[in-house]
């Protein structure tokens, strides 16, 4: 499925099948980037590496739109050492605790309207870092 959504953004969503212990999902670059790679175009090596978890659960509980910051990355590195090149950087928000209440999980439950959804994520500066 590919589509332009009302606010002018591109959105793509396809199905991919993984083994039961293969993770919860994958967001291929094409998910929000028209010219991005789809899952069948991704090199398997690009999906593997040492993992680092930045725990921002407390901050995400206080601000459901919390963005992981450069300061969060620097604090992790100060406590645990530099993040190795090629590492997979994950964030822990604990938002899964809201899963059974769609309105609470998504921040809104208006049918067919994604404009009010709220999620934590990586800030642009942290992602570039």
pLDDT value at residue 23: 60
Give the domain extent around 13.
1-43
Calpha distance 123→129 (Å, rounded):
10
Number of structural domains (the chain) is 2
Shared domain check, 81 and 19: no
- pLDDT of res. 44: 86
Residues 32, 70, single domain; the answer is no
The lowest-confidence range among 2-6, 17-21, 48-52, 109-113 is 2-6
Residues 67 and 13 in one domain: no
**Do 78 and 23 share a structural domain?**
no
Mean of pLDDT values over 47-51: 88
Mean pLDDT of 76-104: 92
21 and 53 together in one domain? no
What average pLDDT is seen over the chain?
86
Confidence of residue 66 (pLDDT cuts 50, 70, 90): very high
Is the pLDDT at 13 greater than 80? The verdict is: no
Q: 26 and 54: one domain?
A: no
**Residues 1 and 36 reside in one and the same domain:** yes
Q: Are residues 74 and 30 in the same domain?
A: no
Question: Is pLDDT larger for residue 5 or for residue 27?
Answer: 27
**pLDDT confidence of residue 58:** 96
Mean pLDDT value of segment 14-25: 66
Q: Are residues 23 and 55 in the same domain?
A: no
* Distance from C-alpha of 93 to C-alpha of 106, rounded to nearest angstrom: 13
Q: What is the pLDDT of residues 71-84, one digit of tens each?
A: 999 999 999 999 99
Residues 69 and 28 occupy one common structural domain: no
Residues 124 and 93 reside in one and the same domain = yes
User: In the chain, helix, strand, coil percent, each to 5?
Assistant: 30, 15, 55
Higher pLDDT, 2 or 111: 111
The residues, ordered by sequence, that sit 6+ positions from 5 with a Cβ below 8 Å of its Cβ are: 11, 114
């Amino acid at each position: 499925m590919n589509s332009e959504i009302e606010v002018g953004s591109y959105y793509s969503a396809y199905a991919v099948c993984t083994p039961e212990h293969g993770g919860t999902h994958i967001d291929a670059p094409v998910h929000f980037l028209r010219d991005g790679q789809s899952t069948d175009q991704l090199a398997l090596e690009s999906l593997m590496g040492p993992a680092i978890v930045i725990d921002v659960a407390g901050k995400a509980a206080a601000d459901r739109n919390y963005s992981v910051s450069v300061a969060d990355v620097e604090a992790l590195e100060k406590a645990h050492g530099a993040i190795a090149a090629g590492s997979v950087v994950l964030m822990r928000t604990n938002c899964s605790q809201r899963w059974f209440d769609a309105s609470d999980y998504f921040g809104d439950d208006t049918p067919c309207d994604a404009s009010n959804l709220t999620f934590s994520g990586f800030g642009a500066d942290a992602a570039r870092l």
